Structure 1
Amino acid sequence: MAAPRISVTLPCFNCGDTVGRALDSLLAQTCRDFEIVAVNDGSTDHTGAILAEYERRDVRVRVIQIDHGGVIAAANAAIGAARGAYIARMDADDEALPHRLAAQAHLLDERIDIGLAGCRVRFGGCREACAGYAHYVDWTNTLLTPEAIALNRFVEFPVPNPSIMVRRECIERHGPYHDGDFPEDYELLLRWLEAGVRMAKADEELLIWNDPPGRLSRTHPRYDVEAFYRIKTEYLARWLARNNPHHPEVHILGSGRTTRKRADLLLEHGIEFAAYHDVDPRKIGHVVNGVRVLDREAVPKPGDGFCIPYVASRGAREEIAEFLESRGYVLGRDYVPAA
């Protein structure tokens, strides 16, 4: 049988209540030249029976059985069995909109410089109960170009993992998911961006990204906030060594306890703080672990220092960017946000 153009990799573990909808959404795609590589990761519910039925009904569905090893093992097993030139990711509790595969494959066809294609996603949870996740989805949907994705990579994960489609050669060259005490999807994106892979998104909502209470990103320590900051700091430190003309010195915007806790991880990688900068008059003039807290107006002129905003509260990051750019700062040249 000829290899399909696209392989959709689908890790499955105890997802009997949702995997049927995921498969139906894929089998309803306007693009027809694809396969679904569904890996049953040792499920103990009725997932296996559902997958077997879909495999029997449609030749495009291939099911691989493995002993339970977790989502990374299942995702990599699916990648290893994929035959397509383009390899897409899908989670068994999400739904692809009908044009998803066609639109992302078209983006990769048209843009030979792009190695990973994402898309805008539709939040599938309750916006009131899960406001933080919903705001994250809204934010990531604003990042469409290679430049926006690359320069915001240290804020949060800029391309939701279930929405990606990649070129096979990128996996062969830069590797699949790595296992460790970090979110494997974020680490892959950081690793590939560091290697020079350009990423862009189709400017369409092509995936319904559901947010069930049992989602791993809510329950597994690999995906907790501290794990995100550990891995992002490692890659940020290397980015600074290559891109900060004042390396190893940086100016930190924000001086609150949370900011210092996150920024201080950089110290373990040899980064030095020239100063903290804040807008709270109660903090200005203090010295924290030998580092001065200065008024934000005292940031150096563009070209005289490099700034990292570490303020994550909603709206504050955007306000800080407006302030820096009003002073002539250029994103990526004079500053990069990290929270």
Structure 2
Amino acid sequence: MPRFSIILPCYNAEATLADTLRSLVAQTCGDWEALVIDDGSTDGTAALIAEAAEDDARIRLVTHDGKGPSAARNAGAAAARGEILAFLDADDLWRPEKLTCMTRLFSDPEVGATYARIAFFDGTRARSVSAPVDGDLTLPMLLGENPVCTLSNLTVRRDVFMATGGFDETLVQNEDLDWLIRTVGDGHRVAGINRVLVDYRTSVSGLSSDLAALREGRRAALQSAARYGFDVRPWEEAIYLRYLARRALRIGAPPSEALSLALKGCLQSPRGWFSDMRRGALTLAGALAAPMLPDALRRSLFAC
């Protein structure tokens, strides 16, 4: 039985999947299986997975019926044989030491899940990194800007994942936030390591560009938090609005939308909006200047 089961959902991912699989095969810890789940692709994704499986017996092609990434991840977890599940998106990359570092964290039997820092890259180079990891996750940490950032940064014991009921398959966005809130709320320890281990590919067309779905997913996650007695505070909401404003600037949403989000966040809580002074000031300035900024410059400034 492998130590790790990698759950890798794919949909029309032939442009990036080969690089993602190479980063997996390059891991310094080789005790893994990979369930690469083709979720109804119409391009060359399935053929690419089949070719990779011929080259490496640890890789398995799993076909799914196109119900979306949360359902695909849950199906992968159900079929996994490993003690620990590690999620990886088809356009992200892992640093070679990712699984080795996770092995060290899971040597503590009290740890139920783990995360690290991530680098934001545009497909060519990393442009910035996420904030330093500050210990174990707490519910208040999750109500602002989710420090895990991406499911490619999440590793969890299989029995813990099954005990939570997995991801909410009705959510298109923020299903990871909802799951983390439920997991931490149920008392499972989610430990962090202050090291960059994931390269997260920024995209103007990915699921994380759907602002409406992000808001809907967050509403569901906040309902989960409320069941544990936690309500979002103004400064936490301001941090999230800052995140949405940056998304709006990066994907080229109407300038009025970015400006509305920025002004609402600043008015809701200056403390929260400027909790990261550089990010808060840059986002506000960008929202004000959005109509005059060239697309390439705007996307570069707000790539994360």
Alignment partner, residue 117 of structure 1:
114
Aligned partner letter, 1:201: G
- Separation in 1 of the partners of 2:59 and 2:144? 37
Cα pair 1:118 1:159 within 8 Å, conserved: yes
- Separation in 1 of the partners of 2:233 and 2:85? 40
Structure 1, gaps ≥5 residues long: 245-249, 260-307, 319-339
Aligned partner letter, 1:155: G
**Map 1:1-339 → 2, pairs under 5 A:** 3-109=1-107, 111-125=108-122, 138-139=130-131, 142-146=132-136, 149-160=138-149, 161-181=151-171, 183-219=174-210, 221-223=212-214, 226-240=215-229, 312-315=272-275
Q: CA RMSD in A?
A: 3.1
Aligned partner letter, 1:208: D
Largest Rg, 1 or 2: 1
Structure 2, gaps ≥5 residues long: 242-267, 279-304
State TM-score, norm by structure 2.
0.73
- Separation in 1 of the partners of 2:135 and 2:141? 11
- Separation in 1 of the partners of 2:189 and 2:158? 14
- Separation in 2 of the partners of 1:31 and 1:255? 39
Cα pair 1:94 1:207 within 8 Å, conserved: yes
Give SS of 1:152's match: helix
* 1:16-53 alpha-carbon deviations (Å, 9 max, x no partner): 01000000110011101101110001100111110010
* 1:80-99 alpha-carbon deviations (Å, 9 max, x no partner): 11110011000010111110
Cα pair 1:122 1:208 within 8 Å, conserved: yes
- Separation in 2 of the partners of 1:252 and 1:49? 49
Aligned partner letter, 2:29: C
State which drifts further: 89-98 or 208-217.
208-217
Cα pair 1:143 1:149 within 8 Å, conserved: no
Aligned length: 248
Alignment partner, residue 280 of structure 1:
none
Cα pair 2:175 2:217 within 8 Å, conserved: no
Cα pair 1:16 1:50 within 8 Å, conserved: yes
Alignment partner, residue 262 of structure 2:
none
State TM-score, norm by structure 1.
0.66
Cα pair 2:115 2:191 within 8 Å, conserved: yes
